[in-house]
């Protein structure tokens, strides 16, 4: 009979443990402007090992989450490629992250739009989740210290890139 | 004569080998898009693939259809989907690691509930037995005092 309170306490602790585990694993995540961006390693879309946002520490990086099935991603791809050609250097790059997409479809997308900037693959969407994305496309400008400086939940346009992103990059007049 | 006998033995051995070999015993396991899509998820939609019609789901269905046409088995196709989208593409949890708890927890909960029910029934019966009056007391009938009170009550309600 004296075991009964102990069993009840154990049952309550087990339920609380499950709740806490659920909150820790499925709880809200994401980064806000001013916070350090996640930099977990991801495979390169074209194969050949892993890459990470940490590889670009010391440079400005425009992280672009996309997927081949996403129509707005198709619309923003030419603007991103054009911006990369004009501003890509040792101080800046666009970094594409193909999220929840088939690798073959992702490679076809890169070929079709002639994207020259580096591409990583986030098949299970874990990195997109860590960034707190709500869909694709989403764009995060990361400064040389790895902190988020701009966040755009949606496709970039040429105007956004020239008005918001370009002025922050080294060598800009403003 | 001896060589003909050896050839017969060799042929019979070969026939037996073919008959019991796994490839002959197990027919090729064919699958279909509907069969696979009932067991995997559309990762973007968060629903079963068979219920999803989003652009991502259509790409995933096309991928499955290509593998079905190439003669892959259901397990091979599911493995290919896991390689593309990770474990969460599977609608049913895997039977290993932490996912195993999805199968074990209901069984353990059922056993615990069964044991608790049995203990409860045993306790209830024991408590009932303790409260029951002994047969001798019941056969002896009510005491004089109770009998008088019973008569008085009956008289009061006599219509």
Which pairing describes strands A92-99 and A60-66: parallel, antiparallel, or unpaired? Answer: parallel
How high is the pLDDT of residue B100? 72
Confirm whether A13 is domain-assigned: no
Residues B31 and B88 in one domain: yes
In a domain, B136, yes or no: no
- For residue B136, the surrounding DSSP H or E stretch is helix B135-140
Determine, yes or no, domain membership for B101. Answer: yes
- pLDDT at position B12 is 61
Contacts with B53 from chain A: Cβ below 8 Å = none
Mean pLDDT, all residues of chain B: 82
Q: A106-140 in b/e burial notation, b at 16+ Cβ within 10 A? A: bbebbeebebebbbbbbbbbbbbebbbbeebbbbb
Which one is predicted more confidently, A155 or B7?
A155
- Distance of alpha carbon B78 from alpha carbon B59, whole angstroms: 15
Question: Which residues of chain B does A125 touch, with a Cβ-Cβ cutoff of 8 Å?
Answer: 43-44, 86
Task: Report chain B residues whose CB lies below 8 A from the CB of A3.
Answer: none
* Chain A to chain B Cβ contacts (< 8 Å): 34
Q: Which residues of B touch A105 (CB under 8 A)?
A: 59
Among B68, B92, B116, identify where a domain stops: B92
Specify the pLDDT at position A17.
Answer: 84
Segment-wise mean pLDDT, segments of 10 residues, chain A, 174 residues: 72 82 68 96 96 97 98 97 97 98 98 98 97 97 98 97 97 68
Q: How far apart are CA A39 and CA A130, in angstroms?
A: 9
Counted domains in chain B: 2
Before A99, cis peptide (omega within 30)? no
Is residue A11 in some structural domain? no
Q: Which of A170, A147, A173 is nearest to A90 (CA)?
A: A170
Distance CA A41, CA A57 (A): 14
Model pLDDT for residues B92-138, shown as the tens digit of each residue: 876 667 767 777 888 888 999 999 999 999 998 888 877 766 655 56
Please check the confidence at residue B141 and state whether its pLDDT lies above 80: no
Query: Which residues 6+ apart lie within 8 Å of B68 measured at CB?
Result: B31, B32, B33, B36, B77
Structural domain boundaries enclosing B33: 26-92
Same domain for B88 and B33?
A: yes
Torsion sign (Cα): B59, B61, B67, B69 = negative
Number of structural domains chain A divides into: 1
Chosen domain end from B72, B92, B112: B92
Residue of A nearest to B82 (CA): A124
Mean pLDDT of B43-68: 97
Is B64's pLDDT higher than 90? yes
Pairing of strands A50-51, A92-99: unpaired
Q: Which residues contact A127 (CB under 8 A, 6 or more apart)?
A: A38, A40, A42, A97, A99, A120
Closest residue on chain B to A71 (Cα): B55
Is A124 in contact with B63 (Cβ distance < 8 A)? no
Prediction pTM value: 0.70
ipTM of the complex: 0.82
Residues of the domain holding A47: 30-168
Q: What percent of chain B has pLDDT over 90?
A: 45
Secondary structure E strands in B33-85:
41-42, 47-48
pLDDT of residue A8: 78
Q: Is A101 on the interface with B (CB under 8 A)?
A: yes
Query: Residue A15: what pLDDT?
Result: 83
Which chain B residue has its CA at the smallest distance from A43's CA? B84
Q: Domain holding A113: CATH number? A: 3.40.30.10
């Amino acid at each position: 009979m004296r075991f009964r309170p102990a069993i009840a306490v154990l049952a309550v602790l087990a339920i609380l443990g499950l709740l806490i585990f659920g909150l820790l694993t499925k709880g809200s995540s994401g980064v806000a402007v001013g916070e350090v961006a996640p930099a977990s390693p991801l495979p390169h879309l074209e194969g050949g090992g892993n890459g990470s946002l940490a590889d670009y520490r010391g440079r400005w990086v425009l992280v672009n989450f996309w997927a081949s099935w996403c129509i707005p991603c198709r619309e923003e791809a030419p603007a991103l490629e054009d911006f990369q050609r004009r501003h890509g250097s040792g101080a800046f790059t666009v970094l594409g992250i193909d999220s929840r997409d088939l690798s073959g479809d992702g490679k076809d997308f890169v070929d079709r739009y002639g994207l020259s900037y580096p591409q990583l693959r986030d098949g299970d969407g874990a990195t997109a989740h860590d960034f707190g994305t709500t869909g694709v496309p989403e764009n995060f400008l990361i400064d040389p210290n790895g902190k988020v400086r701009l966040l755009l939940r949606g496709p970039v346009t040429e105007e956004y890139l020239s008005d918001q992103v370009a002025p922050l990059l080294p060598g800009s007049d403003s | 004569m001896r060589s003909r006998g050896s050839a017969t033995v060799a042929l019979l051995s070969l026939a037996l080998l073919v008959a019991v070999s796994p490839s002959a015993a197990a027919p090729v396991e064919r699958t279909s898009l509907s069969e696979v899509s009932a067991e995997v998820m559309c990762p973007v939609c968060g629903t079963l693939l068979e219920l999803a019609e989003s652009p991502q789901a259509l790409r995933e269905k096309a991928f499955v259809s290509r593998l079905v046409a190439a003669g892959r088995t259901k397990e091979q196709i599911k493995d290919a989907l896991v390689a593309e989208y990770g474990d969460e593409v599977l609608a049913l949890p895997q039977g290993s690691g932490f996912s195993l708890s999805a199968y074990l927890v209901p069984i353990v909960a059922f056993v615990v509930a069964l044991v608790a029910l049995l203990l409860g029934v045993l306790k209830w019966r024991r408590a009932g037995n303790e409260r029951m009056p002994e047969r001798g007391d019941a056969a002896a009938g009510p005491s004089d005092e109770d009998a008088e009170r019973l008569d008085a009550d009956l008289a009061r309600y006599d219509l």
